[in-house]
Amino acid sequence: MTNNSQDNTAAAASKTPSHIAYQVRDGKDKGFFTRIGAVWPHADGNGFNVLLDCVPLDGRITLRIASDKKDAQ
């Protein structure tokens, strides 16, 4: 069994973001996701730093767990 604070500290030390920020606009059949930034957890595990490359004027911002898959949704 692992300790959550150790897991959070390891994730915070990583240069790879834990989540990716997307602008989501509603489409006719599905939403359109545009990558707009990235998210890293604080070292103490009690918050996040969000780096946005742009700020959308419409739609919503969705945070998804970062994965090795292609950015397109």
52 Cα distance to chain centroid: 10
Residue 70 is assigned to a structural domain of this protein: no
pLDDT band per the 50, 70, 90 thresholds, residue 59: confident
Task: Give residue 48's domain range.
Answer: 4-65
C-alpha 44/C-alpha 23 separation (Å) is 28
In a domain, residue 42? The reply is: yes
In a domain, 28, yes or no: yes
The pLDDT assigned to 15 comes to: 84
Considering the domain boundaries, does residue 73 fall inside one? no
Over 80: is that where the pLDDT of 13 sits?
no
SS3 assignment, position 72: coil
State pLDDT tens for residues 24-48: 999 889 989 999 999 999 999 999 9
Residue 6 vs residue 14, higher pLDDT: 14
**How many domains in the chain?**
1
pLDDT at 7: 53
Average pLDDT estimate for 18-29: 94
